[in-house]
Copies of this chain bind each other. A is one copy, B any other.
Amino acid sequence: MEFKVLGKDGKARAGVIKTNNGEVLTPAFMPVGTQATVKTMSPEELAEIGYQMILANAYHLYLRPGHKIIEKLGGLHRFMNWKSAILTDSGGFQVYSLAKLRKISDEGVEFQSHIDGGRHFFSPEKVMEIQEALGADIIMPLDDCPALPASRSRLEESVERTVNWAKQSKAVKKKEGQALFGIIQGGLDIELRRRCFLELYQIGFSGYALGGLAVGEEPNERAKIVEEMSRILPEDKPRYLMGVGPVEECLSAVRQGIDLFDCVLATRNARNGQIFTSSGKINIKNSEYAEDESPLDRECDCYVCRNYTRAYLRHLYVSGEILGIRLNTWHNLYYYQMFFTRMREAVMAGKFEEFYLEGKKKFEEER
């Protein structure tokens, strides 16, 4: 993996990540394909929208269908017919949010599957083995990801473990071309966050991720961590803000120099009928759209907005038709991709601050 910053405007950067499976222009939003599919979408549709990297999940794919099956079938790219880059998350977060009866120790995490209750154990090495088998382009080490708020001593423990596990993860053999990122923990404690980063930096990783956020804290608390950390994150490595997805937060984080994002928001909201538009969110379920012949978003030129009315999409939604959530998802993912493309263009044109202020004003008006 190679990373280059191609343009800067303030702290905001436009760059490119080169992987064995193509380039990823940054800042980039990664659609979430937890179970080896971005819900409702085909790989060709994602590529048509412009996505160059998606996220999949080691925890989920380990449990079902099993990483060894995917390896035997030629790896995750081939398994799911996705020809561009993939980042796999380690499962550290999922063990905390989904699994039952987890028991954490310095050796790893024991947990029960959320699917069938079966007992499993994740060590840092095991999680690397899983991700080597999956063959993603960028992989993440097992981390200790506490829910917030958390006590200082819990956060200290989490940082220590996360650093040790990162070191162990780095020592494990990977697939050729697989890049390992470090995950920074430390909750809302800047000093702990700094300490965690500095120790990870000494080990040395291909990129650095802010983990353990979007786990209960307020957006402004999160923003403060992003701002503080962006002062010390190395310029020459990709910076990844894990699991944070509201576009207004992405905008602020890009302004601080963040390059990568992932979030279920775009896809999950679509399945609930919530649509992102250039004039704010709408819910397509609402009866006010029953006879509305306008597209979801007049300013959008995606496949959905070019071909379907709100009235039709509402009809599909209230009728429980799958095409409805397919089209909603398509539009929301296009909205995100366009927003990121515009951020990138603004950086390259030296007009990011203008873009940022305009965006911020708009999002505030919509609230």
Contact = CB atoms under 8 A, between A and B. Distances in A.
Contacts of A319: 35, 64
A287 to B, nearest CB: 11
Interface stretch (A65-73, A170-178, A196-204, A229-237): A65-73
Interface residues of A, number: 35
Interface string A298-328: 0000000001110110111011011111100
Across the A-B interface, the 9 shortest Cβ-Cβ residue pairs: A65-B315, A37-B323, A40-B322, A81-B307, A35-B319, A37-B321, A73-B293, A69-B291, A79-B312
A285 B323 CA distance: 23
A321 to B, nearest CB: 5
A330 to B, nearest CB: 9
A112 interface: no
A312 to B, nearest CB: 5
A81 B303 CA distance: 11
Given A79-B309, A323-B37, A315 B64 contact: yes
A190 interface: no
Interface string A95-118: 000000000000000000000000
A148 to B, nearest CB: 30
Given A79-B309, A325-B322, A326-B322, A36 B315 contact: yes
Interface of A: 35-37, 39-42, 64-65, 69, 72-74, 79-81, 290-291, 293, 307-309, 311-312, 314-316, 318-319, 321-326
Contacts of A35: 315-316, 319, 321
A326 B321 CA distance: 12
Contacts of A79: 309, 311-312, 315
Nearest to A68: B291
A349 to B, nearest CB: 35
Given A42-B326, A72-B291, A80-B312, 20 more contacts: A35-B316, A35-B319, A36-B315, A36-B316, A37-B321, A39-B322, A39-B323, A40-B322, A41-B323, A42-B323, A65-B290, A65-B311, A65-B314, A65-B315, A69-B311, A72-B293, A73-B311, A79-B309, A322-B326, A326-B326
